[in-house]
Structure 1
Amino acid sequence: MRGDAWRIVEDDLSGAAIRALLEQHFAGMLANSPAESCHFLDFDGLRAGDVTFWSIHRGEDLAGCGALKALDERHGEIKSMRTADAFLRQGVAARMLVHIIDEARARGLERLSLETGSGPAFQPALALYARHGFEDCQPFADYQPDPFSRFMARAL
């Protein structure tokens, strides 16, 4: 494999780089939405049995992350999508999103949903999800309507 090849691996969240990226993710969510409107999973939540967490690397460098949470046997939720600053606008999030969609299909899921912020900081993510077939939907699972949240879903 070439040294600059992309690779996505299941991650146990033990490395310093992934922990730092997730801390940045948590801080970014809290900086752009009220705390009560932030629904990110903390480290323990990302290690839960119903969550699979991946990191994406270019060569040896951490480029981003994402997770899939099983809501039930037919419905999954995308969690913790984040791109490292050094890799912004290089297709990291799209690669991770395609990986999660493919994994959800392989698991037999029929629907994939997500919750993200609604403010200007979230516009790139919202555009990415729309390009990949996600459409606005009503709150799902335990979510409640919230002006700081956008809910999106797509059939698989």
Structure 2
Amino acid sequence: MSNPTSTDVVIARASATEPEAIAMIKRHLEQMASQSPEESCHALDGSGLDAANVAFFLLRRDGQAIAMGALKTLSNNACELKSMHTISEARGSGAGRQMLEFLLSLAKDDGATAIYLETGSTADFTPAKQLYESYGFVECPPFEGYAEDPWSFFMRLDLRAVA
């Protein structure tokens, strides 16, 4: 017998061409465009999320996609966290944390030694930065093709130091 108050959470690999993914990616890109100038938006669109070096995932709660995230393979046994997004209606529900934990575990299981990310530098991005810091991410210089940008904040987590 199932608990009527429990929720069924599934995180699975997805294609950016799935209707729920298309809608979530659109929301994410629109939000990023409203918070940063175009030249400082580094979010991947659907074709970028379906690239061979990117693993894209959706988190579904009770069958509805409410969060997404991706890992992009970098050089030197590292990954980049990409397209972390939780729909506004599900913010504060723990979905972003669940996706982050899933992606960190996946990267570590795949033998990655570090995981990087780029996020915004404005106050809008403070909750995201605090989440990443709570997992041990620290500020770092730009990496893999990024340049110094006042709108960007770069972080790194040494996965060898994570239990």
Structure-1-length-normalised TM-score = 0.96
Aligned length: 156
Q: Which has the larger radius of gyration?
A: 2
User: Which residue of 48, 52, 55 maps to 1:52?
Assistant: 55
SS in 1 for 2:141: coil
SS in 2 for 1:24: helix
Superimposed CA distance per residue, residues 24-78 of structure 1 (whole angstroms, 9 cap, x where no aligned partner): 1001111000100011111111110000000001111111000000012511000
Distance in 2, Cα, partners of 1:73 & 1:126:
24
Query: Any gaps of 5 or more consecutive residues in structure 2?
Result: none
Distance in 2, Cα, partners of 1:104 & 1:138:
21
Superposition map of 1:80-91 within 5 A: 80-91=83-94
Aligned partner of 2:36 in structure 1 is 33
Aligned partner of 2:140 in structure 1 is 137
Large movers: runs of 4+ above 6 Å: none
Distance in 2, Cα, partners of 1:18 & 1:74:
28
The amino acid that maps onto 1:145 is E
Query: Any gaps of 5 or more consecutive residues in structure 1?
Result: none
SS in 1 for 2:75: coil
Distance in 2, Cα, partners of 1:4 & 1:102:
22
Aligned-residue sequence identity (percent) comes to: 36
Superimposed CA distance per residue, residues 86-142 of structure 1 (whole angstroms, 9 cap, x where no aligned partner): 211010111000111000001100000000111111111111000111000000000
| 1:147 and 2:142 correspond | no
| 1:68 and 2:66 correspond | no
